[in-house]
Chain A
């Protein structure tokens, strides 16, 4: 028996998610990842769409009860898709691309990136006073990660945004702060502590998608101070991607 847990308020055994665009009959050799890729949806989104949970034990419970999975490929830890599952049906949500096309929204980075698959490596230098964009290198046939959500509330941390000429954000990536004003000190395998540098100046790179309409990159950061690192990030600097200078 796979690791299972019955949810508190389980969905009906014949639950069909609202908005399902297709019914998929599972078969031998498939798994969540292969089905998700087939329909251009995220694995976790596909699971949640079907079962309203991503908790592994609850997913296993639904796989047995609702999908009728009856084989395991990992010594019984998880149920696996197979042709013998009865009824063996999972439901497919609308893909991101389909939704985007249907709503005719402003093109976002994920779509542009998929079509383009080229990247820019931006090299910056910084010190206590300023950040400078030193160079832009184009890398053809270089994939980049999909965008983080463009819509968000006030947040602490560091991220960058690619924007078009109208200042519309096309792509956003949350990253660990590359402006190193402190460091993790590793005392042993169990103990990490942090200390602040007396002074700092260094360089860093960002690998960003080469978007046809992106003209600038904006860097956002919370204060570089351990006592105030929770303050909401503000725009630190904006650089032209066409001229290599501060806009």
Chain B
């Protein structure tokens, strides 16, 4: 039983914006007690990165941020060697049972999210979002009810991507399921119903496109066309970064589904969130804004 493999130490408020704020909780996993100062630094680094990411950069005062220190017996995460996992065989005893090859999927880093939420329910009952940092430098993470990511360089972007799924209902904008170049079938042409998520669509009628008010009249719809719908579209963007249109390839399909910008964090971790995703986030965060505290103009948004 993993709950014996460590101790819940307590909670530290990293940012206090008042009781109305959106409560973001950062939890440690796989840090021994003596390593919790490292977790404190990792949590602060993540918070700083998060608040440098638009649109969160303009709304820092809408968030409360908590750090929950949980000490594990051992360091790191499990990395099963058997079967398809092919890992190192590491088997540390950690509080939330973090492991690569989670659910038998190689490279997937997960943990006991049910236990995480029980701990956070006791520490920060009014939590809105939970992120777990796993003390391993191997790149990885996962989503679901809590966002999980490792200490590897760039892995914190997994946390932000998954947080945007869980907290704001944003869809994935990439145009494949198992990967480009895998020869996958069944993802050539999206013919389904209109996706309910705000940042992907099957409808590119200029008058009814769900993000149509963001699209300039001179922007072609579709903005890109995939010449071979059996594959991912290899072409570069024909328009400047940040241009909103309807780019072919999204929602796990090479054609027939469209995304608002050529790239976005919901498509490529290292990229900024697109304007449409940012707008959705701002709409959903609005109830957490303190009275009289509103965002300053953002670069190149034309809203200030």
A residues contacting B by CB (< 8 A) are: 2-3, 5, 7-9, 31-34, 37, 42-44, 47-48, 53-60, 63, 73-74, 77-81, 113-114, 137, 139, 141-146, 152-159, 173-176, 178, 180, 183-195, 197-198, 200, 202-205, 207, 222, 226-233
Contact = CB atoms under 8 A, between A and B. Distances in A.
A174 B303 contact: no
Interface in B236-266: 244, 251-253
A34 B294 contact: yes
Interface stretch (B44-52, B69-77, B87-95, B190-198): B190-198
A231 B193 contact: yes
B291 to A, nearest CB: 8
Interface in B88-141: 102-108, 110, 113-114, 117, 121, 125-126, 128, 139-141
Contacts of A230: 190-193, 195, 202, 251, 253
Given A189-B157, A189-B270, A198-B104, A58 B302 contact: yes
Given A59-B303, A189-B268, A197-B103, 4 more contacts: A156-B193, A187-B107, A203-B114, A226-B252
Contact of B192 (A43, A159, A207, A229): A229
A33 B145 contact: no
Interface size class on chain B is 35 or more
Contact of A146 (B287, B301, B303): B287
B169 to A, nearest CB: 4
Contacts of A56: 275, 300-303
Contacts of B27: none
Given A34-B294, A155-B193, A204-B144, A55 B304 contact: no
A156 B303 contact: no
Nearest to A114: B287
Interface in B30-45: none
A186 B178 contact: no
B217 A7 contact: yes
A116 B143 CA distance: 31
Contact of B284 (A53, A142, A145): A145
Contact of A44 (B172, B279, B294): B279
A81 B176 CA distance: 44
Nearest to B302: A56
A183 B142 contact: yes
Contacts of A145: 283-287
Interface of B: 19-20, 102-108, 110, 113-114, 117, 121, 125-126, 128, 139-145, 154-155, 157-158, 162, 165-166, 169-172, 174, 176-179, 182, 186-187, 190-198, 202, 213-218, 244, 251-253, 268-270, 275, 279, 282-289, 294-304
Given A154-B194, A157-B196, A185-B108, A77 B141 contact: no
Contact of B288 (A74, A114, A143): A143
B303 A78 contact: yes
B252 A194 contact: yes
Contacts, number: 227
Contact of B213 (A37, A44, A77, A186): A44
A63 B297 CA distance: 14
B269 A178 contact: no
Contacts of A154: 193-194
B40 to A, nearest CB: 25
Nearest to A2: B302
Contacts of A143: 20, 287-288
Contacts of B177: 193-194, 226
Given A78-B300, A157-B195, A54 B213 contact: yes
Contacts of A158: 196
B218 A202 contact: no
Nearest to B295: A33
Given A31-B303, A55-B214, A204 B145 contact: yes
